[in-house]
């Protein structure tokens, strides 16, 4: 059984479009995250939700809007896509927001904006 | 400003050899330091985590060390295997929820 799953795995789209990436975890965790990994493999945290409440919002353009309908899901919607949004986006979850807890990562969504 | 610096940026070794990856940080206050392994096309997977009071921790052929005084950590890989080819990322957490990630070391193990 997949612990943290993301869909789609690949997303190719034109500049200006709006797209969503979905994430689900079946670990019973309270906290979920979105990360962006650029072409140089640098992972950068974007958002974190704990029990459906936003607790981390790291100076991400407001074109990016996370939504957590319940503890097991954290979706990422991106408006007006730009070339610089091309990256791999990872979802992760942990049992709670304390930093000691291991984060379990999904397989990633490779977004390519043309 | 909290920073995590990793070295070397990339490393190529022969199968069976040992290697050591370095991580220096300026995160303060310090809570814990974790090493992740990221295979190509996959998400990172945790290898070890250490808190202030721990100075070494092993996970199979992986041994991490921590010197909280000098703010340095190392990840030693013993008897490398082809499957060790991956990116190794050092992550340091401090007083907030937000971890600080290093840029990773890319390790290639050749047969």
pLDDT digits (tens, 9 = 90+) for B5-61: 999 999 999 999 999 999 999 988 888 999 999 999 999 999 999 998 899 999 999
Please report the pLDDT score of residue A60 as a whole number: 84
| Backbone φ, ψ for residue B82 (5° rounding) | -55, -35
pLDDT per residue, tens digit, chain A (114 aa), is 669 999 999 999 999 999 999 999 999 999 999 999 998 888 999 999 988 888 888 878 899 999 999 999 999 999 999 999 999 999 999 998 887 788 999 999 999 999
**Higher-confidence position of A103 and B1:** A103
Q: Which among A103, A104, A106 is the top mutation candidate for probing chain B, defined by the most B β-carbons within 10 Å of its own β-carbon?
A: A103
| Distance, C-alpha A81 to centroid of its chain | 15
Which residues of chain A lie closer than 8 angstroms to B44, CB-CB? 43, 90, 105
Min distance B32 CA to chain A CA atoms (Å): 7
- Can you tell me the distance from the alpha carbon of A97 to that of A46, in angstroms, rounded to the nearest whole number? 15
Q: Which residue is closest to B49 within chain A, CA to CA?
A: A100
Contact assignment for B98 to A42 by CB distance below 8 Å: no
pLDDT digits (tens, 9 = 90+) for B48-99: 999 988 999 999 999 999 999 999 999 999 999 999 999 999 999 987 768 8
> How many angstroms separate the Cα of B104 from the Cα of each of A26, A80, B32, B89, B91?
28, 31, 17, 4, 9
Please report the pLDDT score of residue A1 as a whole number: 66
Contact assignment for A92 to B43 by CB distance below 8 Å: yes
Min distance B74 CA to chain A CA atoms (Å): 19
| Backbone φ, ψ for residue B9 (5° rounding) | -70, -35
Q: Are A57 and B111 in contact (CB under 8 A)?
A: no
Name the residue among B45, B89, B99 with its Cβ closest to that of A99.
B99
Contact assignment for A44 to B101 by CB distance below 8 Å: yes
- Can you tell me the distance from the alpha carbon of A80 to that of B96, in angstroms, rounded to the nearest whole number? 31
- Can you tell me the distance from the alpha carbon of B50 to that of B44, in angstroms, rounded to the nearest whole number? 17
Min distance A36 CA to chain B CA atoms (Å): 11
Min distance A90 CA to chain B CA atoms (Å): 7
Q: How many CB atoms lie within 10 A of CB B12?
A: 12
Q: Which residues fall within 8 angstroms of residue A26, CB to CB, at 6 or more apart? A: A1, A2, A3, A72
Beta strand residue intervals within B1-111, DSSP E: 4-7, 10-14, 19-25, 32-38, 45-51, 56-59, 62-67, 72-77, 86-93, 100-101, 105-110
Contact assignment for A43 to B89 by CB distance below 8 Å: yes
């Amino acid at each position: 059984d997949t612990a943290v799953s993301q869909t789609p795995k690949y997303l190719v789209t034109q500049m200006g479009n709006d797209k969503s990436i979905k994430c689900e975890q079946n670990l019973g965790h309270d906290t979920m995250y979105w990360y962006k990994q650029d072409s140089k493999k640098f992972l950068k945290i974007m958002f974190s939700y704990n029990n459906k409440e936003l607790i981390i919002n790291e100076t991400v353009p407001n074109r990016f809007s996370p939504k957590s309908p319940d503890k097991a899901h954290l979706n990422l919607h991106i408006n007006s896509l730009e070339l610089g949004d091309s990256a791999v986006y990872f979802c992760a979850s942990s049992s709670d927001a304390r930093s000691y807890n291991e984060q379990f990562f999904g397989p990633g969504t490779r977004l390519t904006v043309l | 400003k909290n920073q995590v610096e990793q070295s070397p940026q990339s490393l190529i070794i022969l199968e069976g050899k040992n290697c050591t990856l370095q991580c220096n940080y300026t995160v303060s206050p310090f809570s814990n330091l974790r090493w992740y392994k990221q295979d190509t096309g996959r998400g990172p997977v945790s290898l070890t985590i250490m808190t202030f009071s721990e100075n070494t921790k092993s996970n199979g052929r992986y041994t991490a060390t921590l010197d909280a005084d000098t703010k340095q950590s190392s990840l030693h890989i013993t008897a490398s295997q082809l499957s060790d080819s991956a990116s190794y990322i050092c992550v340091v957490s401090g007083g907030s929820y937000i971890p600080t990630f290093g840029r990773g070391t890319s390790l290639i193990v050749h047969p």
